[in-house]
Structure 1
Amino acid sequence: MCLFRLIGGNTVDNKSLWEKSWSKENIDNLLPYLEKYNNLKSDEIDLFQKEKIKKACDAACGFGTYTLALASNGFIVKAFDISENAAEITKEGLKRLGYDIDVKAASILQTGYADSEFDGAFAHSVLDHMTFADAKKGFAELCRIVRSGGLILVSFDEVDDDDLALEHENQEDGCIRFTGDSAKNGMILHPYDDVWVEELLSGKEILYEAVNSKDEHVFIVRN
């Protein structure tokens, strides 16, 4: 699994990890991947359109794949990532493809957006790269910035054998923290767990649930 596909952790103490990871990337190398999301069609986007979502936030945007997918499908989009490098890469990539998007550096724990600023939000592979306590805070922040009745998409990675083969420590909350000499050193990952997700999304109506081509468990809930 490529490191840039895992970027999404937003705990404050891991900011340096994501900044360092994104400092090794550049838009020239990532543009071919980004372009695949231009005019992307998916069940998730169809549901957002059906529910008349107009203004959307791409949380922990990485290099802007879902920012582009949303913008190219007619949504008004703002995006953020904890890494300033990622935010700059996203802005440059979108600019090259003809999109002028408001992208900034911010944590999902404190986005800086106004209450109910958005109709919906995408948060792909974000909350499972945080401690459970921070994941709950991050989800609460998404609920704050999305209006009542709006939609929130969250997804969670499966842990594969390659992940488990790396040196790591098991945390009390069920997360693992990578250690050792790998590029993932310091990264947090919570293995997908139905009980954990049910607790995280407690009280929300689940409108959509699926496993996508990346083996991510995707949920869309009504705020």
Structure 2
Amino acid sequence: MNNYWDNVWTSVDVKDYKKYINLNDDYKFIDIFKQHKISNICDAACVFGKYSAIFSKNNFKVSGFDISEQSIILTKNMLTTLNLGFMDFCVCSITDIKYRDECFEGVIAHAVLDHLNTTEAIKALNELFRITKKNGLIYLSFDGLSDNDIEACHEVLADGSFKYIDGTRKGMIFKYYINEEIKKLIMGKEILYFNTKQNGEREVILRKI
């Protein structure tokens, strides 16, 4: 997976992705984080910095990480271009996060766990909770299933994940979680928010107790 994501973000330009960031939208998860007095967050698998930018625009102290060094470079350049502040970003895997225990009040992982096999997703969720302070919040999202997801050339792994074996997605893992599987993954966690968007994406906010 390291090679796949490095290839995705190699030689990308901030201007190609800036159009995907709307800093003026009203985001429900931002309101919930503010209601719980969250002030600093970690953007897990920050890709090109969309959610780092949204949180920074709303006066959160933002740090983050990604498995791809190119992604970290892109995120920092994006935030700088948008004149938004940020703390530190590092290169690491979500299954072995470099940050110490309980160092963030909030963590966001947008469409990340569904790009791991089930075993790795469980380990990643444990890592996200590890770096979150008590009473802190963890935001997760899970993509819907599109025709493109099904039609792209893939093999099906034992846990139902798709491993793409050709084309632009070659090497990528994608697991479509039905709602019951999401609830099983987060079983025993305190759920503050569960929302299904029109495009099929599911948003979840958990509180560490």
User: Which residue matches 1:43?
Assistant: 28
SS in 2 for 1:33: coil
User: Which residue matches 1:29?
Assistant: 16
Query: Within 2, Cα distance between the matches of 1:24 and 1:196?
Result: 36
Identity across aligned pairs (percent)?
36
User: Which residue matches 1:146?
Assistant: 132
Q: Deviations over 1:122-159 (max 9, x none)?
A: 10000000000000000000000001111101010112
Query: Within 1, Cα distance between the matches of 2:53 and 2:122?
Result: 27
Contact kept in structure 2, 1:54 and 1:75, CA below 8 Å: yes
1:55 correspondence with 2:55: no
User: How many pairs align?
Assistant: 207
Q: Deviations over 1:8-62 (max 9, x none)?
A: xxxxxx000000011142212122223x2x2442111100000111111111011
* TM-score normalised per structure 1: 0.89
User: Which residue matches 1:134?
Assistant: 120
1:113 correspondence with 2:106: no
Query: What's the offset of the Cα at 1:81?
Result: 1.1
User: Which residue matches 1:11?
Assistant: none
The code of the aligned residue for 1:193 comes to I
Contact kept in structure 1, 2:155 and 2:163, CA below 8 Å: yes
SS in 1 for 2:169: coil
User: Which residue matches 2:89?
Assistant: 103
The code of the aligned residue for 2:16 comes to N
SS in 2 for 1:68: helix
User: Which residue matches 1:168?
Assistant: 154
Query: Within 2, Cα distance between the matches of 1:216 and 1:24?
Result: 29
Contact kept in structure 2, 1:91 and 1:100, CA below 8 Å: no
* TM-score normalised per structure 2: 0.94
The code of the aligned residue for 2:54 comes to A
Point out where structure 1 has 5 or more consecutive residues left out of the alignment: 1-13
Query: What's the offset of the Cα at 1:195?
Result: 2.7
SS in 1 for 2:46: coil
1:79 correspondence with 2:64: yes
Could you tell me which of 141, 147, 156 is aligned with 1:155? 141
1:220 correspondence with 2:205: yes
SS in 2 for 1:183: helix
The code of the aligned residue for 1:104 comes to C
Query: What's the offset of the Cα at 1:198?
Result: 1.6
1:90 correspondence with 2:71: no
The more displaced of 146-155 and 190-199 is 190-199
Could you tell me which of 151, 160, 165 is aligned with 1:179? 165
Contact kept in structure 1, 2:145 and 2:200, CA below 8 Å: no
